[in-house]
Amino acid sequence: MRNRAGVAGPDEVRRLLAAVDDDRLRALYVLAVTTGMRLGELLALRWADVDLPGHRVAVRGTLARSDPGLTVTETKTGRTRLVLLTTAASEALDRRRVVQAGER
């Protein structure tokens, strides 16, 4: 159930994450619901931006539409910012990294 501001509640988030448990984009969904990062920032993340031992990611850019296609541009503020990760987010990213390495 969403609150007055239209934000999903804990039960709704749990249902979402349970529904995407085997989805290859699960780490993205976990980051989205636990960090408050903007969609463009999430889509611009690279493994070089992820510090799993430090439980944080560096937001260095945002994915934006351009002509032609898409490009990574500066963040809204023009500065890199560090976002702390929850245990769930760190675990989801670690799991994704292992799966991705296996796919290569």
pLDDT of amino acid 14: 84
**SS3 per-residue string spanning the chain:** CECCCCCECHHHHHHHHHHCCCCCCHHHHHHHHHHCCCHHHHHHCCHHHEECCCCEEEECEEEEECCCCEEEEECCCCCCEEEECCHHHHHHHHHHHHHHHHHC
Instruction: Confirm whether 1 is domain-assigned.
Output: no
pLDDT (mean) for 90-101: 94
81-84 β-sheet, strand order: 50-51, 56-59, 81-84
Structure tokens at 99: 């799966």
* Higher pLDDT, residue 4 or 49: 49
Predicted model pTM: 0.83
Instruction: Confirm whether 2 is domain-assigned.
Output: no
Instruction: Confirm whether 68 is domain-assigned.
Output: yes
User: Which residues span the domain enclosing 83?
Assistant: 10-103
pLDDT band at 9 (very low <50, low <70, confident <90, very high): confident
- pLDDT of 3 above 70: no
Separation of alpha carbons 89 and 104, rounded Å: 23
Overall number of domains in the chain? 1
pLDDT band at 4 (very low <50, low <70, confident <90, very high): low
Instruction: Confirm whether 37 is domain-assigned.
Output: yes
Instruction: Confirm whether 16 is domain-assigned.
Output: yes
21, 32, 66, 69, 104 from 29: Cα distances, Å: 10, 5, 25, 23, 22
pLDDT of amino acid 40: 93
Instruction: Confirm whether 4 is domain-assigned.
Output: no
pLDDT tens for each residue of 25-58: 999 999 999 998 999 999 999 999 999 999 999 9
CATH code of the domain in which 53 resides: 1.10.443.10
Instruction: Confirm whether 5 is domain-assigned.
Output: no
